[in-house]
C-alpha cells in the first residue's frame, strides 16, 4: 500500500515539474515575442480581404484590426492592417502551416512586426504571435483558449518591455 502512495506521489511531483517547466517556457516565449515585436496590441478583427500577389503565385490576406489597446508601440490609429500568407480568392484557397489564422469578429492579442520593404505589418513569429481572446463563462473575464487571464498576460508583457 505504501508503494502505491509513493508511486502516486512521484507521479504528481513529476507532472507538477512539467507544468512548472511549461509555465516558465511560456514566460520566456512571451519575453521573446515582447522583445521582437514592433507593436503589441489587443483588438477585434473587423474585416479580411484576400487577393493575389502581382504575378498570381500567392494569395495574401489583409486583416483589419480595430485596436482596443496598445501595449507596445503606438501608431495613434484606431485600425491596423495585418498582412499574412493564405486565404481564398474565388475558387482557389491557400493554407499555410504555422501561419496565424484570423476570424471575423475575433478578439485577439497580437505581436506585430513592421515589414521594411512594404511598410505593412505581419504577425511576429507566425501563429505564436497571435493569441485569441475568449470570455470565461463563469467569471466573464477575458482569457486565452487555454484559460490564461488576459490581464495577467498584459502585465507580463509590460514587465518584459520594461526590462528592454
| Domains in the chain, CATH or no CATH each | 2-163 (2.40.50.120)
Which percentage of the chain shows pLDDT scores above 90? Answer: 73
Distance CA 114, CA 73 (A): 11
Distance CA 11, CA 154 (A): 33
* Degrees, nearest 5: CA angle 121-60-88: 140
pLDDT in tens, 44-65: 999 999 999 999 999 999 999 9
Distance CA 139, CA 136 (A): 6
pLDDT in tens, 18-40: 333 333 336 689 999 999 999 99
Q: Where does the pLDDT of residue 139 fall: very low under 50, low under 70, confident under 90, or very high at 90 and above? A: very high
Q: What is the pTM of this model?
A: 0.81
Average pLDDT of the chain to the nearest whole number: 86
Cite the DSSP H helix spans in the chain: 2-36, 150-163
Amino acid at each position: 500500500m505504501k508503494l502505491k502512495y509513493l508511486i502516486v506521489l512521484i507521479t504528481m511531483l513529476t507532472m507538477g515539474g512539467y507544468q512548472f517547466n511549461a509555465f516558465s517556457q511560456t514566460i520566456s516565449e512571451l519575453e521573446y515575442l515582447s522583445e521582437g515585436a514592433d507593436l503589441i496590441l489587443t483588438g477585434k478583427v473587423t474585416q479580411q480581404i484576400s487577393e493575389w500577389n502581382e504575378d498570381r503565385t500567392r494569395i495574401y490576406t489583409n486583416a483589419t484590426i480595430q485596436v482596443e489597446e496598445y501595449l507596445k508601440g503606438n501608431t495613434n490609429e484606431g485600425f491596423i492592417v495585418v498582412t499574412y500568407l493564405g486565404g481564398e480568392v474565388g475558387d482557389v484557397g491557400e493554407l499555410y502551416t504555422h501561419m496565424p489564422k484570423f476570424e471575423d469578429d475575433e478578439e485577439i492579442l497580437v505581436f506585430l512586426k513592421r515589414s521594411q520593404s512594404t511598410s505593412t505589418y505581419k504577425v511576429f513569429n507566425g501563429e505564436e504571435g497571435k493569441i485569441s481572446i475568449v470570455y470565461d463563462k463563469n467569471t466573464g473575464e477575458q482569457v486565452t483558449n487555454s484559460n490564461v487571464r488576459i490581464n495577467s498576460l498584459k502585465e507580463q508583457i509590460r514587465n518584459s518591455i520594461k526590462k528592454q
